[in-house]
Amino acid sequence: MTATTDSGAFTAEEKAAMKEAAAEARKAKARAGKADKAAADAADVAEKIAAMPEPDRSLAQHVHDTVMAADPSLAPRTWYGMPAYAKDGKTLVFFQDAAKFKARYATLGFQDVATLDDGAMWPTSFALTEWNDTVAQTITDLVRKAVG
């Protein structure tokens, strides 16, 4: 996510993401224990992807398909208004479309529950500008490693 404005205030995009996170928390509470929770969460992800402008929409759909193929046990859900995939209820990996924070590229990011550890320093965020077989394989490998 982008930094705050020069005045220290949150940007409009950051405020919108926080509102989305609050709405997601309310939805999660309302859905808790319901049989259709997983389907409803997956539908939210599909809706977010469908609402993205191109080329983010295509990238997000490829990421979604690849993440779910790499580990079908991950639970799709939204996280701060972004497609995300959780393990044991915690966000593991997410896709941030470029348009969300007016960035020049989309981002594939991993949270601290991801087991990507590699020495004293390792990447947890990756710029994503196009889709090809190499990108798909790299994401597959990263997700499998992140799951542990």
Q: Assign residue 48 the CATH number of its domain.
A: 3.90.1150.200
Residue 135 carries which DSSP code? Answer: H
Do 84 and 65 touch, CB atoms closer than 8 A?
no
Q: Is the model's pLDDT at 13 over the cut of 90?
A: no
pLDDT at 1: 45
The beta-strand segments (E) located in 11-105 are: 75-79, 82-87, 90-96
Residue ranges making up the domain that contains 111: 12-147
Per-residue pLDDT of 28-75, as tens digits, reads: 778 888 789 899 999 999 999 999 999 999 999 999 999 999 999 999
Q: Is the model's pLDDT at 2 over the cut of 50?
A: no
Total domains in the fold of the chain: 1
Residues 10-17, mean pLDDT to the nearest whole number: 86
Does residue 4 belong to any structural domain of this protein? Answer: no
Exposure string over 13-33, b if 16+ CB within 10 A, otherwise e: bbeebeebeeebeebeeebee
Does residue 62 belong to any structural domain of this protein? Answer: yes
Does residue 57 belong to any structural domain of this protein? Answer: yes
